[in-house]
Amino acid sequence: MNQKRGRLIVLLLFMTVYQQLINAQNGTQNRPNIIVILADDLGYGDVGFTGCKDIKTPQIDNLAHNGVVCTNAYVTHPYCGPSRAGLLTGRHQARFGMEINPTNSPFDLHMGLPLEEKTFGERLKEVGYTTAIIGKWHMGGAPPYHPNNRGFDHFYGFLSGGHSYFPSGINAISPLVNKNGLPNYCANEGDYKPLWRNNGAGEFKEYLTRALSRDAAAFIKSADKPFLLYLAYNAPHQPLQAPKETIQKYSHIENKYRRTYAAMIDEMDQGIGMVVEALKTAGKYDNTIIFFLSDNGGDRSIKPWQPVHYTSNFPYRKGKGSFFEGGIHVPFFVHWPSGIKKPIEFDGLVSSLDISATAYAVAGVDTVGRQLDGVDLVPFMQREKKGSPHNAIFWRENEGKAWAVRTVDNKYLLTSQKEKPQLFDMKKDPYESENIVESKPKKRAQIAALWNKWNEGNKPVIWLQSGDYQKRRLQLYKELHQEMIDKASKRKPLIIE
């Protein structure tokens, strides 16, 4: 018995040493962990490191002040779905025509992030990373599009574009509740469904942001090899809901909508603190790259049940849904203690597409022939390269009914077919206050040529926007039901003998 036990111990030791040799050969032990923290509808001016005074974000600010703050950072679209499609793939979503908010349609095998487009989860998993997404998916609800089938080993969250923040589904202290006690806001049919944990139901017994943060901390502690964590909070996206005690911290804010919104950001900040503490406890803090950004600007629309603005994109114009700076210019930082020795502010043009390219570079992913649209930011963060990662960044919506181009010096955009193009000098006028399009015809032509060249490689949109999709789906159900009624009315009763 002792002899067998001794052989087993020798075998286990051999396997351990062998795995260590393999790890050393592949460099897996030295590759950094990667965390992408994505806020949802966070206003540019609503975190401390961008100048906010009435909302406290100490955890976020500490990471920002000890990393690289990118002051000219952009997402690829001014609302959720397309922005996330670009982020996840490292390719502009116009390359595959996904300029819509996908609907959480569990029986539609065509509604979701195209299966031929690989996510950063898939690519990092291929080179040995453990991968997780925690939070909002919004890239398709049918099985082929499920996160576990798109490169993520672990999933805890929801497939739809929105969700209630409380397990009961209705929060009595939300300012968005009508006289019947029901929420005025409902993003889609997924709002009040249970969470997912991989392919089954996930427990949800506390404020959602806390639950997501707690799961993220647990994943970090459990990972035994380099990991990718995509922490996609739905905070501070509507519905505006927060714990009563956190709302009370912001009693100094007169606007009740902003008061709850502030509490939601505060809860997200506390959750990020949980993540940081988990990294430190596990000894992974120094060699983890943390990217932080929002998927688009803060919501500036006015609704019947919410008659005032509650977000701030100061100092920029407009907000979510707009190609003005308030809709696409987002708070963004990169934190990596072992890779970024000196905190800096970086004013080059940065895109959310750069997150994939940077992750692939540090993880050793082969990007030859991948047709990525991002740039590895590490040489710029480490001051090995100077200048701007991008000479120009591009946007389009509805195949070009609205579009924008940001170069280092200028921005040229069309906000809708009803308007005329506008041109701004972004060096002298970063807040887009003076339209100089009439006085700069050559500059206008030069920038237009850049956009036209870029757009040659893009594809038409082949999906319906979520609202139109829902209407069409309901109509199909109605037509199918009527067809069954018509057929049934023509059948005669069975007569037996």
What token pair was written down for 93?
């979503």
Give the model confidence (pLDDT) of 94-112 as tens digits.
999 999 999 999 999 999 9
Parse the chain into domains and list their residue ranges.
Answer: 31-390, 394-455, 465-491
Pick 31-390's CATH classification: 3.40.720.10, 3.40.50.300, 3.40.50.2000, 3.40.1280.10.
Answer: 3.40.720.10
Mean pLDDT across the stretch 347-374?
Answer: 96
Rounded CA-CA distance 465/417 in Å is: 18
The pLDDT confidence band at residue 186, using thresholds 50, 70 and 90, is very low
pLDDT at 184 (0 to 100): 46
Give the model confidence (pLDDT) of 392-428 as tens digits.
999 999 999 999 999 999 999 999 989 999 999 999 9
Q: Contact, 139 vs 170, CB < 8 A?
A: no
pLDDT at 18 (0 to 100): 40
Q: Is 228 exposed, middle or buried, given 0-12, 13-18 or 19+ CB atoms closer than 10 A?
A: buried
Q: Is 372 exposed, middle or buried, given 0-12, 13-18 or 19+ CB atoms closer than 10 A?
A: buried
**Phi-psi region for residue 130, left (φ > 0), alpha (ψ -120 to 50) or beta?**
beta
Rounded CA-CA distance 260/248 in Å is: 9
Mean pLDDT across the stretch 473-488?
Answer: 96
Cβ atoms < 10 Å from Cβ of 117:
18
Give the model confidence (pLDDT) of 128-147 as tens digits.
999 999 999 999 999 999 99
Percent of the chain surpassing pLDDT 90: 84
Higher-confidence position of 353 and 22: 353
Q: How far is CA 393 from the centre of its chain?
A: 18
Q: Contact, 436 vs 420, CB < 8 A?
A: no
The pLDDT confidence band at residue 20, using thresholds 50, 70 and 90, is very low
pLDDT at 174 (0 to 100): 52
DSSP string, 285-342: STTEEEEEEESSPPP---BTTB-S-----TTSS--TT-SSHHHHB--EEEE-TTT--S
Rounded CA-CA distance 470/448 in Å is: 36
pLDDT above 80 (res 78): yes
Give the model confidence (pLDDT) of 64-76 as tens digits.
999 999 999 999 9
The pLDDT confidence band at residue 369, using thresholds 50, 70 and 90, is confident
pLDDT above 50 (res 489): yes
pLDDT above 60 (res 187): no
Q: Contact, 351 vs 84, CB < 8 A?
A: no
pLDDT at 341 (0 to 100): 86
pLDDT above 70 (res 179): no
pLDDT above 50 (res 183): no
Q: Contact, 259 vs 250, CB < 8 A?
A: yes
Which residues are catalytically annotated? 80, 138
Q: Do domains 31-390 and 394-455 have the same CATH topology?
A: no
What token pair was written down for 36?
């992408």
What token pair was written down for 210?
């806390």
Give the model confidence (pLDDT) of 242-251 as tens digits.
999 999 999 9
Q: State the DSSP code for 45.
A: T
pLDDT at 29 (0 to 100): 62
pLDDT at 7 (0 to 100): 59
The answer, as to whether pTM is greater than 0.85, is: yes
pLDDT above 80 (res 284): yes
Mean pLDDT across the stretch 214-231?
Answer: 98
Rounded CA-CA distance 310/335 in Å is: 29
Q: State the DSSP code for 384.
A: S
pLDDT at 3 (0 to 100): 61
Q: What Å distances lie between residue 96 and 121, 338, 370, 396, 410, CA to CA?
A: 18, 36, 14, 13, 27
pLDDT above 70 (res 28): no
Residues 6+ apart with CB under 8 A from 12: none
Percent of the chain surpassing pLDDT 70: 89
Name the phi and psi angles at 479, rounded to 5: -65, -40
CATH topology of domain 394-455: Arylsulfatase, C-terminal domain (3.30.1120)
Q: What is the mean pLDDT of the chain?
A: 91
pLDDT at 2 (0 to 100): 59
pLDDT above 50 (res 173): no
Residues 6+ apart with CB under 8 A from 377: 68, 334, 350, 354, 357, 358, 389
Name the residue type at position 465: Q
Closest CA to 362 of 346, 341, 340, 347: 340
pLDDT at 220 (0 to 100): 98
